[in-house]
Amino acid sequence: MATTELVYPLAFPKSVVHKCEICGKAASRMCSKCRVTYYCSEEHQAADNIGIHDKICSTLASLRLKQPFLPSEEERRERDREIRDRKIHLVGVTRMIGERHVFQDRFEAAVPAALASLKLAIEVHGPRSVELIPSYLILAEASLGLKQLNQCWEYLSQAQYTVLQQHEQAPLAITSQLARNMAQLSIARKEYDDAARHLANDIYDASLCYGTEHHKVAGGYFLLGKVFKLMNRNEVTESLYTQVTQMWYNFLRRLLQSRVVFSDMDAILGKKDEDDEDELTSSSKLDLSTEAEAFNTLQTLLNYRLETQQTNPMTQELNKIHHCLTILYFLARDYIQVHDSMNKIKDCTIQDIEDDQQRILKFLEQLGQMKALMKRQQQQN
């Protein structure tokens, strides 16, 4: 790799032993950009780079550097607080990247990301805190994807033990996510009753936490539908999948309505997504992991509908799914796919879908016009 540098373990000071980021063995290579990340072999460095290091290289440099001594107590406290805040922020970022990898089925890349988030979280919160659990869950999902069921079980039991150790009730969002992952493990092990039980717990906690119509609960319903399908109770699956479609549909439509209003200039000037997200409220953000989850879910639902179309044609449901995909492509600025997806909708009787399509088309037109205008101006100058 271009950014690698060889280091010699014997050259370090006496008590300092640098360990590999991934496996924890004695390190012989170092990333030359940030100079604080160590690896034991080329493969590990490559894996980490793909997974997470690319994105957080510079941030890590400033965080892991040995801090100079500051004379006053206040300044030291300030600095410590600042570092802690940055670490917390970084934990969030790494988790999201890890979740995105998981939803896009890149499990090997997810592991380094999750590990990084775990290490940072341990530094910030301590080894037994509830805050570590989401990182464990991402690790569990990744190992499930890599078909290492025992490893997954270990991570999940660690998480569950942490929950049990708490004196007060752990936050419902975390217990719900934990239950969901345990259900996924049970599905992989073909223990469908256990899976159903875990999912019931998950849905209950998520409903209590977010409200019964929130899109986060939709994930639980989706998995429950899958379980019932595997248990051959298809009418339940049918009704559950309809419910999931409805929830995502409502959520995405709301997002669309808030987004289409924002100024066209931002799109022209080509500002990146991060700036936009700071302006909008969190309810109208579509963060990376939700986006990936939505894609995944909608693809599966689409396949299911296409399968059952011969026996039970529900064209309106199909149209709804296509429309959700349209909105997703639009929010991801993938405009070619938008047109493709809109063309797949046939015989649509739902007025709302048609309204939305009109809005999207108008927006795209305006976008085209502005771009043409900018080009002309540039040519003049």
Q: Which is nearer to another protein, 132 or 227 (CB)?
A: 227
Joined together, the tokens standing for residue 101 give 């990898």
Report the Cα 197 to chain-centroid distance in Å. Answer: 25
Which residues are paired to 30 by β-bridges? 5, 38
Q: How far is the CB of 226 from another protein (least distance, A)?
A: 12
Do 146 and 108 contact (CB within 8 A), yes or no?
yes
Q: Which residues bind another protein (CB under 8 A)?
A: 196-197, 199-201, 203-204, 207, 212-213, 221, 224, 228, 233, 235-236, 239-240, 243
Q: Which is nearer to another protein, 191 or 277 (CB)?
A: 191
Q: Which is nearer to another protein, 236 or 332 (CB)?
A: 236
Q: How far is the CB of 197 from another protein (least distance, A)?
A: 6
- Which residues lie closer than 8 Å to 209 by C-beta, 6 or more apart? 171, 172, 173, 176
- Concatenating the DSSP letter of every residue in 80-94 gives HHHHHHHHHHHHHHH
Q: How far is the CB of 83 from another protein (least distance, A)?
A: 41
Backbone angles phi, psi at 30, to 5 degrees: -140, 145
Q: Which is nearer to another protein, 240 or 327 (CB)?
A: 240
Q: Which of 377, 243, 252 is nearest to 327 (CA)?
A: 252
Q: How far is the CB of 260 from another protein (least distance, A)?
A: 30
Q: Which is nearer to another protein, 128 or 233 (CB)?
A: 233
Q: How far is the CB of 181 from another protein (least distance, A)?
A: 17
Joined together, the tokens standing for residue 50 give 């793909």
Joined together, the tokens standing for residue 81 give 């607080």
Q: How far is the CB of 143 from another protein (least distance, A)?
A: 23
CA separation (Å) from 52 to 60, 296, 355? 11, 22, 41
Q: How far is the CB of 235 from another protein (least distance, A)?
A: 6
Q: Which of 289, 180, 297 is nearest to 247 (CA)?
A: 297
Q: Which is nearer to another protein, 186 or 326 (CB)?
A: 186
- Rounded to whole angstroms, the Cα distance separating 224 from 208 reads 18
Q: Which is nearer to another protein, 83 or 200 (CB)?
A: 200
Do 328 and 302 contact (CB within 8 A), yes or no?
no
Do 132 and 162 contact (CB within 8 A), yes or no?
yes
Q: How far is the CB of 230 from another protein (least distance, A)?
A: 13
Do 191 and 182 contact (CB within 8 A), yes or no?
no
Q: Which is nearer to another protein, 233 or 371 (CB)?
A: 233
